[in-house]
Amino acid sequence: ASPDSLIVAPVDLLTAIYHRASGQTHLMASPAPEILEALAEAPLDAAALLAKLRADYDLVDADLAALTARLDELAETGLVERR
């Protein structure tokens, strides 16, 4: 989803994300907000996104399969688009 179609607000340990196109609000835990933030900067494939998240958040145990699963979940909600 385009960053303009999302309203993002931290709520304690979660992040509320209102998706204007669907009219739905999603409550998400890390790493979903961080993934959306990284993708808002530029479209990235999963491998490039993982590299960016590793660099930005000093991740040492991140793996591509786990990230791909999170991206699939975000795609099901309409918050990211598969390309």
Structure tokens at 65: 């399969």
Q: Buried b / exposed e across 18-45, counting CB within 10 Å, b at 16+? A: ebeeeeeebebeebbbbbbebbeeeebe
Question: The whole model's pTM is what?
Answer: 0.86
Cβ atoms of 79 and 70 closer than 8 Å: no
pLDDT of 53-77, one tens digit each?
A: 999 988 878 899 999 999 999 999 9
Label the pairing between strands 24-28 and 6-11: unpaired
Mean pLDDT of the region 38-64: 90
